[in-house]
Amino acid sequence: MLFQSQGFILIFLPLAVAAYYAVAGSERARHAVLITASLVFYGWWDARFIALLVGQISATWLIAYWHKRVGRAAILVVGIALNLASLATFKYLDFLLASAEWLTGFALPRAHILLPIGISFFSFQLISYLVDRMRGDAPLYPFRPFALFVLLFPHLIAGPIVRHNELVPQLALDPRRDGLWRRIAVGLMLFTLGFAKKVLIADRLADMVDPAFTAAAAHPLGLIDAWHAALAFSFQLFLDFSAYTEMAIGIALMFGLLLPENFRRPYLATDLRDFWRRWHISLSNFIRDYLYIPLGGSRHGAARYVLATLLSMGLCGLWHGAGWTFAAWGVWHGIGLVVCRFWQQLARPMPAALGWLVTMAFVLAGWVLFRAADFATAASMLTSLVGLHGAGGSFGDPGLIIVAALVSALIPSAHEIKDRATWPHPAFAAAAAMLAAYCVLEVGKGPPLSFIYFRF
């Protein structure tokens, strides 16, 4: 079930919210409503994977429980390995087989396993809990709130990646506490904002991007076509994913829960380190805390720093997809971060405008690698971007690109909106409702497009 489908907006969400507040006085009943809703939400795609999801959650909790009784860290290592093994099997097995085949020259069979939606997200959350337990930073929660911390449908499929200590304590709070109507109002506004960004801008950009990258796989594009496709994808990716995040944070607020921030206008970043503090923040924090710092971070000399950065970012790339183009995209950013840090150590800062230009050019080149089906298409696209295949092409719908750029630059992050929003004026609420109604009619036209980050 997609957040922007009519079934979700007109039936599922109102029913879930109504049931939740009908039993708001009982923590146990509230949790039961959210767990049921989340399982229905997840099972809507493929009910077979509910067993995997519930199995991974249950196994992780049992391991934590066992660890509490026995006190051996090795037990937690088994739990981490179990979650990694699930991720490796369901997401990376065919990729690993194909890579082994390429390396060895031996023909290997393929498993052709369907990718369970959201597996990267819920596996990471479970791993982070076990690592935190190993560090002594995570208590053993009762099973119900622990399961709900992973299952909660607003973040289950595509984040933001939530840590146990950010969510579990909130699950005990009475949603009718002070600020109830403000939370619901802000939640509805954020949901509408994300809904409109997804339906009115990101999906329309997809109609430009998909044919262009398909064409680039067949023949080189001209300079204008290549820039058109690369810019359109850069905005599509941000608007699509940030729209999902805003809808997720908005829905969670309707249940009285606050999910972490994920984006802070990343295309305003003036250096690459700044970009990663603004882009997919919950993943960046995860990579920092569970990969980069354990690998040595920046406190063990330059060589270790370079290695930790490249490895962390390479794995971050692979997290996005089982393909070498994703790994290369991660390493590309790793190299960029290393260069950025050393440049900053020279204490010769670039003018902000130049820094922004260099950063955006670097990010855009990375997105080409991220979106292209293979290295050949990426190379073709990148050479087109520097004009090696002529100046041909047309800027199909410059108006849409301009709107996308303005929305990307001007709309504050979800948490900024939440914190700054005053009580909505009735006329503003009515206008937002009309926008939401228009979007509901638009999505009713045909099968809605999935969010890009669902596939990760």
Partner 1 sequence: MRFLAVLVAALAATLAAVVLIDPYDSGRFPTIGIVGISDTNQRTEYVSLGRSHKFNAAIFSDSHGQLLDPDRLTQATGLSFVQLSIPGAMAPEQLAVMRWFIRHHAQIGALVLAADQRWCGEDPQPWKWFPFWLYGDSDLQYLASSLNSRSVGAAVRRIEHAMGLLQPSDRRGYDDYEARRPPDYTFAFPPPPPPAPPPAPIDLAARVFPAIDRLKAELDAAPTGTSLVVVFPPVYIAALPSDAQAVAELAECKARLARLARATPHGGFLDYLIDSPIARDQASFQDVDHYRAPVARRIEHDIAGVLKGPAAASR
Contact code string over 86-105 relative to partner 1, x by CB under 8 A = --------------------
Contact code string over 396-435 relative to partner 1, x by CB under 8 A = ----------------------------x-x--xx-xxx-
- Identity of the residue, 188 or 247, whose beta carbon is nearer to partner 1 in the bound complex: 188
Which entry of 155, 164, 320, 415 is annotated as an active-site residue? 320
Shortest CB 336 distance to partner 1, Å: 41
The interface with partner 1 within residues 173-232 (CB under 8 A) comprises 181, 185, 188-189, 192
Question: Which residue in the set 10, 70, 172, 376 belongs to the binding site for partner 1 (CB under 8 A)?
Answer: 10
Instruction: Say if CB 385 and CB 365 are below 8 A apart.
Output: yes
Instruction: Say if CB 234 and CB 208 are below 8 A apart.
Output: no
Question: Which residue in the set 169, 352, 437, 455 belongs to the binding site for partner 1 (CB under 8 A)?
Answer: 437
- Identity of the residue, 199 or 306, whose beta carbon is nearer to partner 1 in the bound complex: 199
Q: Cβ-count burial of 296 within 10 angstroms (0-12 exposed, 13-18 middle, 19+ buried)?
A: middle
- Identity of the residue, 352 or 433, whose beta carbon is nearer to partner 1 in the bound complex: 433
- Residue with tokens 């960029």, as numbered in its chain: 336
Shortest CB 433 distance to partner 1, Å: 4
Provide DSSP, 204-226.
HHHHHHHHHHHHHHHSPPPHHHH
Q: How far apart are CA 240 and CA 231, in angstroms?
A: 14
Which residue type sits at 389? H
- Catalytic residue flag (residue 320): yes
- Identity of the residue, 342 or 423, whose beta carbon is nearer to partner 1 in the bound complex: 423
For CA atoms 185, 191, 194, 197, the dihedral sign is negative
Q: How far apart are CA 100 and CA 243, in angstroms?
A: 38
Shortest CB 445 distance to partner 1, Å: 5
Shortest CB 421 distance to partner 1, Å: 13
- Identity of the residue, 40 or 440, whose beta carbon is nearer to partner 1 in the bound complex: 440
3-state DSSP assignment of residue 160: coil
Q: How far apart are CA 131 and CA 331, in angstroms?
A: 25
Shortest CB 438 distance to partner 1, Å: 8
- Identity of the residue, 52 or 429, whose beta carbon is nearer to partner 1 in the bound complex: 429
Q: What is the dihedral of CA 301, 306, 311, 317, to 10 degrees?
A: 140
Question: Which residue in the set 296, 440, 449, 450 belongs to the binding site for partner 1 (CB under 8 A)?
Answer: 440
Candidates 378, 396, 379, 333; CA nearest to 359 is 333
| Residue 47 binds partner 1 (CB under 8 A) | no
Q: How far apart are CA 349 and CA 342, in angstroms?
A: 11
Token pair for residue 374? 């293979």
Q: How far apart are CA 82 and CA 40, in angstroms?
A: 25
Quick count: other Cβ atoms within 10 Å of Cβ 6? 14
Sequence-distant (6+) residues with CB within 8 A of 11 are: none
- Identity of the residue, 71 or 446, whose beta carbon is nearer to partner 1 in the bound complex: 446
Token pair for residue 132? 């935190």
| Residue 6 binds partner 1 (CB under 8 A) | yes
| Residue 361 binds partner 1 (CB under 8 A) | no
| Residue 62 binds partner 1 (CB under 8 A) | no
Candidates 203, 207, 267, 213; CA nearest to 240 is 203
Quick count: other Cβ atoms within 10 Å of Cβ 340? 21
- Identity of the residue, 188 or 308, whose beta carbon is nearer to partner 1 in the bound complex: 188
Token pair for residue 211? 């044919």
Contact code string over 270-309 relative to partner 1, x by CB under 8 A = ----------------------------------------
Question: Which residue in the set 442, 449, 450, 454 belongs to the binding site for partner 1 (CB under 8 A)?
Answer: 442
Question: Which residue in the set 105, 136, 351, 446 belongs to the binding site for partner 1 (CB under 8 A)?
Answer: 446
Candidates 50, 17, 23, 316; CA nearest to 161 is 316
Number of residues that bind partner 1 (CB under 8 A): 25
| Enzyme catalytic residues | 320
User: What are the residues binding partner 1 (CB under 8 A)?
Assistant: 6, 10, 181, 185, 188-189, 192, 424, 426, 429-430, 432-434, 436-438, 440-447
